[in-house]
Amino acid sequence: MRRHKRALVLGLAASLGVSVLLVPHWLRWRWIPRPEAFAQIKVGMTQAEVEALVGCAPGFYTRYPLAVSRIGCVYIPDRPNSIRQTWMDDQHLFYVWFDSNNRAVGVAQWPGYERYPPQSLQEWYLWYRCLRSQLGF
């Protein structure tokens, strides 16, 4: 009986520990507030104006740290002499390029973009291979 209580206490402690680790991730999850605003970005706008229009700074706003991304097959070239900023959530991927004066010189959206947790063994395997290549294994 004593062993069962000990196992129960250890199991509860482990569950609490996992919860403590995951809750901050879920609390900080957000999304791009106004994705439709990217269509209103004009050449010459400053990054501050773009952020005010969109409602957030460039960043990674996804719910899934371990995920598969699906992207439409399109070529979006980088702009020479510019810095690309990225806004991404589970349903949107936008690029905005800024020049050395911090003014927008271009904007693009990846069509058909979505991000979701791996759902099959094949997707888990592809995610694993991608992770290995990024870590240099």
Q: Do residues 24 and 57 both lie within one domain?
A: no
Q: Can you give the CATH number for the domain in which 72 is found?
A: 3.30.1450.10
pLDDT by residue for the chain (137 residues), tens only, comes to: 677 677 665 666 555 655 555 555 444 556 788 889 999 999 999 999 999 999 999 998 888 777 777 777 777 788 889 999 999 888 889 999 999 999 999 999 888 888 888 888 888 888 888 778 878 87
pTM of the model: 0.67
The number of domains in the chain is 2
The range of the structural domain enclosing residue 1 comes to 1-30
Q: Do residues 90 and 45 both lie within one domain?
A: yes
Tell me whether strands 114-116 and 68-70 are parallel, antiparallel or unpaired. antiparallel
Q: Do residues 17 and 52 both lie within one domain?
A: no
Alpha-carbon distances of 99 from 85, 104, 131, rounded to whole Å: 11, 7, 32
Q: Do residues 49 and 113 both lie within one domain?
A: yes
CA distance 121 to 132: 16
CA distance 37 to 98: 17
Q: Do residues 18 and 39 both lie within one domain?
A: no
Q: Do residues 12 and 50 both lie within one domain?
A: no
